[in-house]
């Protein structure tokens, strides 16, 4: 079968074998206020499918509107004479700015947006057992700090290398690209191990530093300031490429494992479940105050103690 969500807001299903349309459903029938949408072409709508061996085919439709988007979840139902219809399961509303991509399973919707500040937002919701329409947030890995603050007793080279090569902070492609630009396009072997790449970075920055020196004598403070200037310049270049390669392009859900990953410009990023402590620690303040203690523990005293501990950890962190 071929499914298409057309500009007239209708979902159509064709049999490519018989070359005939088996179903045409008007999606605006499931939108509360559709007068404005009727006149506009459905260019922002999206369609996703999910198959369950026990329940059959699920269809997820995102209806784009200027102020509020809407997800509609359907189950495909076979009728007489080789015709099909839709069983409407759920409608979910969202006020997020720009939907990049979404995926569905037989129970959940996963969605990725860009918010008003152009930051990536990923959320998920169980559409079967969520009458309140409450979306769950995914804690995203943030970009490295824009600026490294050094104390007077810290060595610039040592501190910048520590930040650049802390596991999980920068990807190798960003460092290699920055190294190539920093060395003004000089041909280098960039298929390096992490330890060799660290040596290449150190050599490149120190060579640039030495090449800029025009005087034979420096005070210790002057040399330290010059050293910090060059390391800061290289770090800014790495940060620029890290941000570019971290730009999300799509969201992929493995139907066999239900594992979700983000396809970014330079790499894949996998989403993993967080522990209760991690979840509470990472929650925004307003969400932490509204957290249901019953979800933490059946024992009220234990739940309150856990909340108190989390608040203490957040003050320390």
Whether the predicted pLDDT of 116 surpasses 70: yes
Q: Write down the pLDDT at residue 231.
A: 94
Residue-wise pLDDT tens digits, 283-299: 766 666 666 666 677 77
- Predicted confidence at residue 281, as pLDDT, reads 74
> What's the rounded mean pLDDT across residues 139-166?
89
The larger pLDDT score, comparing residue 198 to residue 189, is at 198
Check residue 33 and give its pLDDT. 65
Q: Is the pLDDT assigned to residue 52 strictly greater than 90? A: no
pLDDT over threshold 70, residue 185: no
Answer whether 148's CB lies under 8 Å from 170's CB.
no
* pTM for this entry: 0.77
Flag whether pLDDT at 251 surpasses 90: yes
Q: Looking at residue 159, what is its pLDDT?
A: 94
Buried b (16+ CB within 10 A) or exposed e, 5-36: beeebbbebbeeeeeeebbebebbebbeebee
**Confidence grade of residue 208 (pLDDT, cut at 50, 70, 90):** confident
pLDDT digits (tens, 9 = 90+) for 220-244: 788 888 889 999 999 999 999 999 9
Model pLDDT, residue 55: 84
What pLDDT score was predicted for residue 104? 92
pLDDT at 289: 60
Average pLDDT along the chain: 84
pLDDT digits (tens, 9 = 90+) for 191-206: 788 999 999 999 999 9
pLDDT over 70 for what percent of the chain? Answer: 88
Cβ pair 63, 31 in contact under 8 A: yes
pLDDT of residue 136: 82
Query: Is residue 187's pLDDT more than 70?
Result: no
Of residues 314 and 173, more confidently modeled:
173
Query: In the prediction, which pLDDT does 199 show?
Result: 93
> For the residues 38-60, what does the mean pLDDT come to?
82
Residue 35 has a pLDDT of: 59
**Ramachandran category for residue 57: left, alpha or beta (phi over 0 → left; psi -120 to 50 → alpha):** beta
* 127-141, 196-210, 257-271, 272-286: least confidently modelled range: 272-286
């Amino acid at each position: 079968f071929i499914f298409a969500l057309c500009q007239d807001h209708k979902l159509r299903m064709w049999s490519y074998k018989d070359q005939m349309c088996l179903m045409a459903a008007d999606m605006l029938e499931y939108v509360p206020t559709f007068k404005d949408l009727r006149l506009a072409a459905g260019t922002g709508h999206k369609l996703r499918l999910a198959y369950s061996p026990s329940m059959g085919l699920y269809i997820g439709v995102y209806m784009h509107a200027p102020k509020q988007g809407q997800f509609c979840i359907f189950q495909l139902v076979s009728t007489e004479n080789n015709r099909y219809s839709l069983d409407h399961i759920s409608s979910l509303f969202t006020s997020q700015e720009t939907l990049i991509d979404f995926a569905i399973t037989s129970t959940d919707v996963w969605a990725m947006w860009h918010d008003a500040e152009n930051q990536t937002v990923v959320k998920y919701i169980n559409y079967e057992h969520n009458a309140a329409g409450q979306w769950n947030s995914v804690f995203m890995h943030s970009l490295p700090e824009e600026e490294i603050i050094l104390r007077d007793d810290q060595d610039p080279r040592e501190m910048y290398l520590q930040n650049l090569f802390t596991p999980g902070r920068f990807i190798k492609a960003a460092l290699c690209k920055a190294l190539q630009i920093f060395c003004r396009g000089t041909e280098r072997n960039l298929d390096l191990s992490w330890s060799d790449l660290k040596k290449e970075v150190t050599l490149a920055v120190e060579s640039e530093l030495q090449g800029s020196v025009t005087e034979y004598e420096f005070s210790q403070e002057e040399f330290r300031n010059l050293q910090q200037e060059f390391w800061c310049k290289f770090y800014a270049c790495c940060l620029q490429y890290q941000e570019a390669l971290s730009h999300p392009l799509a969201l992929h859900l493995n139907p066999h494992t239900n594992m979700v990953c983000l396809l970014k410009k330079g790499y894949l990023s996998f989403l993993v479940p967080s522990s209760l402590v991690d979840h509470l620690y990472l929650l925004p303040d307003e969400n932490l105050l509204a957290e249901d203690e019953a979800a933490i523990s059946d024992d009220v005293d234990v739940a309150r103690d856990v909340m108190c501990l989390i608040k203490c950890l957040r003050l320390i962190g």
